[in-house]
Amino acid sequence: MTEGKASPDTEPASARSMAWGPRLGWDRGALARRVTALPRPVKWALIGLVVVLLYALPLLEIPIVSTPDTDFGGVLFTVASYVLVALGLNIVLGYAGLLDLGYVGFYAIGAYTVAVLGSLQAQLSWWLLIPLAVVLTTISGILLGAPTLRVRGDYLAIVTLGFGEIIRLTALNTEWLGAAKGITGVPRPPSVELFEVPHLKWEGATAVVDLDDTTRFLFFGVADQTPYYWLTLTVIFLVLGADRMLRLSRIGRGWEATREDEDAAELMGVPTFKFKLLAFACGAFIGGLSGALFASRQGFINPESFLLLLSILFVAAVVVGGAGNRWGVILGAVVVAYLPERFRGFEEWRLLVFGLALLLLANFRPQGLIPPRRAKRAQAVDEQLEALEEGTARA
Amino acid sequence: MPSTSVSEQPVTRNGAALLSLDDVSIQFGGLKALDGVSFDVREGEILGLIGPNGAGKTTCFNVMTGVYQPTSGEVRFAGEPLGRRKRFAITRLGIARTFQNIRLFGNMTALENVLVGADAHHRTNVIDALVRSPRHRREEREGEETAREVMKFLGLERRADELARNLSYGEQRRLEIARAMATKPRLLCLDEPAAGFNPAEKAQLMDLIRRIRDVRGLTVLLIEHDMGLVMGVSDRVAVLEFGRKIAEGAPVDVRNDPAVIAAYLGTEADDAGEFDQEGDL
Ligand SMILES: Nc1ncnc2c1ncn2[C@@H]1O[C@H](COP(=O)(O)OP(=O)(O)OP(=O)(O)O)[C@@H](O)[C@H]1O
Ligand SMILES: [Mg+2]
């Protein structure tokens, strides 16, 4: 909220931003601008191409990109799960500005709902389990948010941090929830086997269709995890659509205003508490959904799957990419999830490299890899002003 | 107590009290920031609220907009006690304000800032937004119309897509007024809108405040340190000192009131107000 402040004794600021104002060219990234400038059919064709490519990714077996040591479909599923989680957390952290350090708690509730009601205590159908998981997680989000969203900033971080751990410890200490030994036989999504899709095989620079290596469409098994990736990718597209709709509405504006200056927002008619709770519920919804998908892919969960570290990684994904920008957080999730999988050979070095990368990022790109266009534009203006100030100081 | 429901705006005759402070006191620890203050803002008038630094002017705004609950006394808007209404509910009722220290949504565009104000009366919920319901589309359209119209009124239409934090200081002050006006208030409260302005800008602001009342039909409550401005534009003036109201009346009378002269003697409030920018709201 201090950002917006201009004190009267820095009067020249007006003249300066006036001079630079009309020439602003940094409203969007160069790439995004070029894409928006394209004619409609071309744009849709491009988007279609990217979508097809994303679905085909596990089949292409692209050298270097594909992971040599692990099933690439499985890696892609992990990456997609992180992307989904990051999109959910972005609503809470990026849009509404609420530091939630216990997001793994929602992920766990989603996963445990599917596992407990699908295997351990009941054998409900998968089609029933997923909506049930989402509903229960959303409710838990509201129950957590209702008392805690009245406190601000640091307190919220501490309370949510505790929440994440409490969920894990509850699971660990409750026989009914499988305790330490966890839950096996979590139901998988029902399969419908229609046809087989062959993968590619690369011989040098040429690709040949490898009829020995195929993925059964749509068989949700143990070995080949590509179908789970397709499922999650589809969910991501749906969530992206919903995210965009909310963003471009009274609700998205309300979230942003609350993040910028909660008191001012409230005094301009935004019911900030309700909106924060809503952001929390939306975040929980998506977190629970990804947890449920995770459990039904894994087939087995135990409390170890929901360590605090995971929460930290989720926040890292959002912050690394650029909180508040959905494309940024997608990139952040890909970086956080994919790189460690790709370089599994260097297992012991993973966390060290990750820490170093975060350190560098915090220093050189504190706004994230792809910050929201706003932050970027504002920063560009700041830099211009600084340059200008230096100029006048020397003159 | 009148039995009118909360949602419908009670009717007031022209010149009747739109907002009344009735013996309002508020205590911060040992400090009585407001001490039995009573005054009315009459429908359709421009009321100036003046007083030396720390007199309790901004605190009055905070009590009127629900930021603070008075320790004793009552605030009534159009005859209805504000009671423990939430801040956003008071805004919807028809009181809008600006801030002594500019408090815009810096990383949102100027237009979006004003849209947030226009959203005050909107009801779009998650489902509406997700399926782009007729209500959502109508409210988006109306909101944008309102916002652009208000921005035009304040001469900000060409800055619509600029980030609020990148606007000039004067534009930011006007954007705050635009945002408040977009909530469609009946009473507009301006907290030192001329702070940091040069004489030419002050003259423009005076003109603007008059147009807000004459063209838009809003009642205006104005906190201002610049005597020329506040005496020139106000129909009536109320004076606070140490949390007490020491005078109220037409500008000429207030200016010659011995108590007011004593309060201001040697304080040079004109200058002081421009550099003292502390305080929360
Ligand atoms: N939240 C608070 N807690 C404690 N004291 C407060 C609080 N808000 C205001 N005060 C005190 O109440 C008194 C009146 O403050 P207020 O901001 O209303 O003055 P003002 O008339 O607006 O002055 P200025 O012209 O400097 O803006 C001051 O002494 C101030 O320090
Ligand atoms: Mg003040």
- The ligand placed nearest to the CA atom of residue B67 is 1
Through-space distance between the first and last CA atoms of chain A, rounded to whole angstroms: 33
Reported as a pLDDT band with limits 50, 70 and 90, residue A316 is confident
Q: Residue A30's pLDDT band (boundaries 50, 70, 90)? A: low
B171 touches chain A (CB under 8 A): yes
Cβ of B66 closer than 6 Å to ligand 1, yes or no, is: no
Residue nearest to atom 5 of ligand 1 (CA): B28
Q: Is B276 in the pocket of ligand 1 (CB under 6 A)?
A: yes
Note whether A4 contacts B102, CB cutoff 8 Å.
yes
Of A245, A270, A278, the CB nearest to B88: A270
With a cut of 70, say whether residue A394 has pLDDT above it: no
Q: Which of residues 210-269 of B touch A (CB under 8 A)?
A: none
Superfamily of domain B1-94+186-281, CATH level 4: P-loop containing nucleotide triphosphate hydrolases (3.40.50.300)
Break chain A into its structural domains and give their ranges. Answer: 7-33+368-395, 71-333
pLDDT confidence bin for A369, thresholds 50/70/90: confident
What's the pLDDT score for residue A375? 55
- Is the predicted pLDDT of residue A67 greater than 80, yes or no? no
Which pLDDT value is given to residue A350? 67
pLDDT at residue B77, rounded to an integer: 96
Which CATH number does the domain A71-333 belong to among 1.10.150, 1.10.3470, 1.10.730, 2.60.120?
1.10.3470
Residue B14 has pLDDT above 50, yes or no: yes
Residue with tokens 């635009």: B178
Residue with tokens 């929201």: A372
Specify the pLDDT at position A201.
Answer: 72
ipTM surpassing 0.85, yes or no? yes
Which residue from B105, B128, B129 is facing A260, i.e. has the nearest CB? B105
Ligand 1 atom nearest the C-alpha of B100 is 27
* Nearest Cα to Cα of residue A188 among A290, A120, A118: A118
For residue A3, pLDDT beyond 50: no
Q: Decide if pLDDT at A20 tops 50.
A: no
Contacts of A13 in chain B (CB under 8 A): 168-169
Nearest-angstrom CA–CA distance, A302 and A171: 8
Q: Which pLDDT band holds residue A218 (cuts at 50, 70, 90)?
A: confident
Contact status, residue B255 vs residue B231, Cβ threshold 8 Å: yes
Atom 25, ligand 1: residue with shortest CA distance: B53
- Name the residue of B28, B224, B239 to mutate for ligand 1: max ligand atoms within 8 A of Cβ: B28
Mean pLDDT across B183-204: 94
Nearest CA to ligand 1 atom 17: B58
Q: What is the pLDDT of residue A384?
A: 61
pLDDT value of position A374: 57
Domain ranges of chain B: 1-94+186-281, 105-184
Residue A166 has pLDDT above 80, yes or no: yes
Q: In Å, how far are A46, B68, B115 from A257, measured between CA atoms?
A: 34, 21, 10
Model's pTM, two decimal places? 0.84
Residues lying with their CB under 5 A of ligand 2, a single-atom ion: B 57-58, 100
Query: Mean pLDDT across the stretch B122-130?
Result: 93
Contact flag B163-A268 (C-beta cutoff 8 Å):
no
| Encoded tokens for A192 | 């419908």
* Residue A17 Cα, gap to closest chain B Cα (Å): 6
Q: Which pLDDT band, with edges at 50, 70 and 90, does A155 fall under?
A: confident
- Kindly state the average pLDDT of the residues A94-107: 92
Rounded to an integer, the average pLDDT of B11-15 is 49
User: What is the pLDDT at residue A386?
Assistant: 63
DSSP A59-127: HH--TTTS-SSS-HHHHHHHHHHHHHHHHHHIIIIIIS----S-HHHHHHHHHHHHHIIIIIS----HH
Q: What is the mean pLDDT of residues B94-121?
A: 95
Average pLDDT over chain A, rounded to an integer? 81
What is chain A's length?
395
The rounded Å distance from CA A308 to ligand 1 centre is 44
Pocket test for ligand 1, best of B27, B59, B223 (most atoms within 8 A of CB): B59
Q: What is the mean pLDDT of residues A118-144?
A: 91
